[in-house]
Amino acid sequence: MAVLDAEQNSIVLRIVYDGPPEAGKTTSLRALSASLARPMTTPAEIGERTLFFDWVEYTGGLFEGHQIRCQIVSVPGQAVLAHRRTSLLQTADAVVFVSDSSPSAVETTRSYLAEMRTALDEAGGPRVGVILQANKRDRPDAVDVSALQAAAPGTAVLESVATSGTGVRETFVFAVRLALDRVRELLRTRTLSFGAPDVQTSDQLLAQLQHLESERTAIASRQGLEDSTQASSAFREVIDEHHSARATSPGAATLRKAAESDAPHPPTAGVESGTIWPPVDGRIILQEACAQNFVPRRLQDGDWIGEVEGWKFHAPRQAIFTDPESGRRSLIDWARLHAAGQRWFSGPRVVVLAPSGPGTWRLWQIVKREESLRDVLVQAIEDNSPEGLLRRLLQAGRQLLTAIDSLAFAPCRLAITVDTVGVTNGGPLYIGYLPGPFLIRPGNPMSAENRTTLLRRELGALASSELRTHPKEAFPPLGSIIRRSDPPAVVEALRVLLRDSGLVDDSVAGTS
Amino acid sequence: MSTEKELAEMIGRIEADMSGFIAASVVDLESGMTLAAKSARNDFDLTVASAYNSELVKQKLKIMKALGLKTTLEDVLLTLGDQIHLIKLFPGGSTFLYLAAERASTNLAIVRNSVMRHVATLS
């Protein structure tokens, strides 16, 4: 990374703060930022969990008459973001490895150190100096420094309490010394780069990382690899932790009021990084789903939908933006909702902010197509006798009722119908679209009366015409097929349905 | 190695011990980076001053080497028209204290005495 920028009369170094999650990398940088009186920036941070890096820039000191410009960067510690960690480590001129001093953390430290060394070895070039910053030395159970030294042979060990700033600046200055050693070696071997560095700001570093990831994802997609599912689960995990921040409506000014008459552009896999959730395998799903062309269709309520084999697309009418930043904020809110409701919602799901037309962006949700209760029943109607149809209706009623009760605890209110409920081995799941990010209302249990109404409506919509195609003599008495455990609401809904279909005598609608 | 807090406290004690204090820093000789710094004047760029003074010390050490002097550099005194600058190397020679003071408010003996005394208290 070291670059001699003759025009600015400076040598640009990168000091990378590495280490396991929660060891104190960000806290160290925050303390350093305060000590050096330089701002710290953390792009795409979610709830204090670093997703890309923390960044502090500091100019101080001299090297052979050149000012020393330090890019101080911390890596994301989460194992699933290892690709970002590796990318950053491979640009280091010196590494400050921040470790937790608790006994239980020693093994993790050892493992992360090994990964770090692998990453540095792969980068090649003169040796990158590593300092082990033994952090959290104020812990009552802090292990002896010698134990950490044993875990990191050949590494300088400095103690710190990052929360109070103790030991942080000394460690940093020591790291600069190591980085300058490396620069000397680069000079000696005539491998030092000259000119303006490629990355001079945190924004540029973020763009560089995102570009790298886009390339990696594109390659993975081409090769049919799906090894990035972990990344999405980690992202969900991070988001889950901070689900308390519910979706909020953007300022009215950010919404385009003008009605769109032309169909919006559907999303593509080429959307910018940071505009897709989950960030890694979301793009892979887009690549698959968007390989099939479709023209969005406008519903009566103004929402846009589309369908290709295996996938459904939906863009709420309100989710259109004239500036991408507002769209990105809504994307995060919507992603939080998707992540928070994983146990109730079918998957996989993708949320993407895509260019919609000139100067506009639109939020889309992409949902894998799953078999709905309607699909199951249509199959039953085609295949089954009147008795089989009644049994299937009863079963659908039971599943619908279970869904009503279960989805009442979902993070938002959902439209429960035979089209939006699907059945898996684990029970009913919501397979429909989630409400738009500005239409989210909390879920709540349904009253008994509403449950019955819903059951009648949905079962009736499904089968009333089919029931009429059979003579009433073909149906067995309802009482002969219901079970003791069948919920009364379902039995009652079915009985009403039969009555409304003209199958009213006791031979069918009765319970005996 | 003393911590930033200990070094900052030492600078604070020096400041309290004398009048005319402008700024002081503890500097890593190799890199010119400050390990601790305090300035009483906004217009005094201590980061730059510290960096260039590390070059000054390095040059003096080179001179000593060129002359074949088998001794150590203890301190460097610089007298400006209105300021006194003192550079005191710490034991081991990899770190030094740099201090600037108003010449009208203090004198070299007071500055030197204060710096020697407080530097000696560091571990």
Hunting for tokens 């799953």 — which residue is that?
A: A370
Q: What is the mean pLDDT of chain A?
A: 80
Q: Looking at per-residue confidence, does A116 or A45 come out higher?
A: A116
Task: Report yes or no: B54 at the A interface, CB cutoff 8 Å.
Answer: yes
B58: nearest CA in chain A?
A: A64
Taking residues A276-296, what's their average pLDDT? 74
Chain A residues touching residue B54 (CB < 8 angstroms) = 61-62
- Mean pLDDT, rounded, for A359-369: 89
Give the gap in angstroms from C-alpha B74 to the nearest C-alpha of chain A: 21
Measured in angstroms, the CA of A166 and the nearest CA of chain B are apart by 6
Question: A365 falls in which pLDDT band (50, 70, 90)?
Answer: very high
Residue in B2, B3, B57, B98 to test binding to A, most A beta-carbons within 10 Å: B3
The encoded tokens of residue A290 equal 């968007």
pLDDT of residue A283 exceeding 90, the answer is: no
Q: Is B70 on the interface with A (CB under 8 A)?
A: no
Closest alpha carbon within chain A to B49: A61
Please determine, for residue A300, whether its predicted confidence score (pLDDT) is greater than 60: yes
Q: What is the pLDDT of residues A453-492, one digit of tens each?
A: 888 888 777 666 666 677 777 777 777 888 888 888 888 8
| All structural domains of chain A with their residue ranges | 3-194, 250-368, 373-509
pTM to 2 decimals?
A: 0.55
Region A257-279: mean pLDDT is 67
Give the pLDDT confidence score for residue A468 in this predicted structure. Answer: 67
* pLDDT score recorded for residue A90: 95
pLDDT value, residue A356: 83
CB contact under 8 A, A61 and B35: no
Low-confidence stretches of chain B (pLDDT < 50) are none
pLDDT digit string, tens, across residues A221-235? 555 444 444 444 444
| Interface-testing mutation among A57, A170, A171, A181, with chain B (most B C-beta atoms within 10 A) | A170
Tens digits of residue pLDDT in A79-90: 778 888 999 999
HSE of A479, CA atoms in CB hemisphere, 13 A:
7
Q: Is the pLDDT of residue A93 over 60?
A: yes
Chain A nearest CA to B93, separation (Å): 15
**Among the listed residues A245, A264, A238, A237, the one whose alpha carbon sits nearest the alpha carbon of residue A440:** A245
pLDDT of residue A250 exceeding 60, the answer is no
Question: Which residue did the predictor score with more confidence, A510 or A146?
Answer: A146
Taking an 8 Å cut-off on Cβ atoms, the answer to whether A169 and B35 are in contact is yes
CA distance B10 to B17: 11
**Region A66-93: what's the mean pLDDT?**
91
Q: Does domain A3-194 have CATH number 3.40.50.300?
A: yes
d(CA A55, CA A33): 9
Using the beta-carbon criterion (under 8 Å), do B51 and A166 form an inter-chain contact? no
Q: What is the mean pLDDT of the segment spanning A88-105?
A: 94
Any idea where the domains of chain B sit in the sequence?
A: 4-120
A68 contact residues in B (CB cutoff 8 A): 31-33, 51
Distance of residue A66 Cα from the nearest chain B Cα, in angstroms: 10
Chains A and B: how many Cβ contacts under 8 Å? 61
Mean pLDDT of A388-407: 82
- Mean pLDDT across A413-424: 85
User: Which of B30, B36, B51 faces A60 most closely, judged by CB atoms?
Assistant: B51
Return the residue in A33, A56, A169, A181 with the most chain B beta carbons within 10 A, the one to mutate for interface testing.
Answer: A169
Strand ranges, E, within A283-331: 297-298, 304-308, 311-315, 320-321
Question: Is A180–B31 a contact, with Cβ atoms under 8 angstroms apart?
Answer: yes
Chain B nearest-CA residue for A175: B31
**CATH superfamily label, B4-120:** Dynein light chain 2a, cytoplasmic (3.30.450.30)
Percent of chain A scored above 70 by pLDDT?
Answer: 83
pLDDT at position A223, please? 54
10 Å CB burial of residue B70 (0-12, 13-18, 19+) is exposed
Which pLDDT score, from 0 to 100, does residue A496 have? 79
- CB of B45 within 8 Å of a chain A CB? The answer is no
pLDDT tens digit sequence for A164-222:
999 999 999 999 988 998 998 898 888 999 999 989 999 999 988 888 877 776 665 55
Residue with the larger pLDDT of the pair B116 and A382: B116
Q: Contact A177/B31, CB-based, under 8 Å?
A: yes
| Chain B: residue whose CA lies nearest to A172 | B35
Q: Which of A462, A450, A449 is nearest to A500 (CA)?
A: A462
Where is A408: in which H helix or E strand? none
Q: Cβ–Cβ of B35/A177 closer than 8 Å?
A: no
pLDDT over 50 at A274, yes or no: yes
Backbone angles phi, psi at A127, to 5 degrees: -55, 140
Nearest to A71 by CA among A11, A131, A133: A11
**Could you give the CA distance from residue A91 to residue A87 in angstroms, rounded to a whole number?**
7
Contacts of A59 in chain B (CB under 8 A): 47
pLDDT score recorded for residue B86:
97
Residue bearing the bigger pLDDT, A144 or A50: A144
Hey, is the C-beta of B37 within 8 angstroms of any chain A C-beta?
no
What pLDDT does residue A185 have? Answer: 87
Is pLDDT above 70 for A157? yes
CB contact under 8 A, B47 and A67: no
Confidence bin at A445 (pLDDT 50/70/90): confident
Q: Is the peptide bond before A428 cis (omega within 30 degrees of 0)?
A: no
Assign A249 a pLDDT band (cuts: 50, 70, 90).
Answer: very low
**Distance between CA A335 and CA A365 in Å, rounded?**
9
pLDDT at residue number A220: 57
The rounded distance, in Å, linking the Cα atoms of A348 and A346 is 7
- Is the model's pLDDT at A270 over the cut of 80? no
Chain A residues lying within 8 Å of B59, measured CB to CB? none
Q: pLDDT (tens digit, 9 = 90+) per residue, B45-56?
A: 999 999 999 999
In this predicted structure, the answer to whether residue A267 has a pLDDT above a threshold of 50 is yes
* Residue A71 scores a pLDDT above 50: yes
What pLDDT was estimated at residue A47? Answer: 59
B8–A contact, CB cutoff 8 A: no
Give pLDDT, residue B80: 96
Which of residues A504 and A150 earns the better pLDDT score?
A150
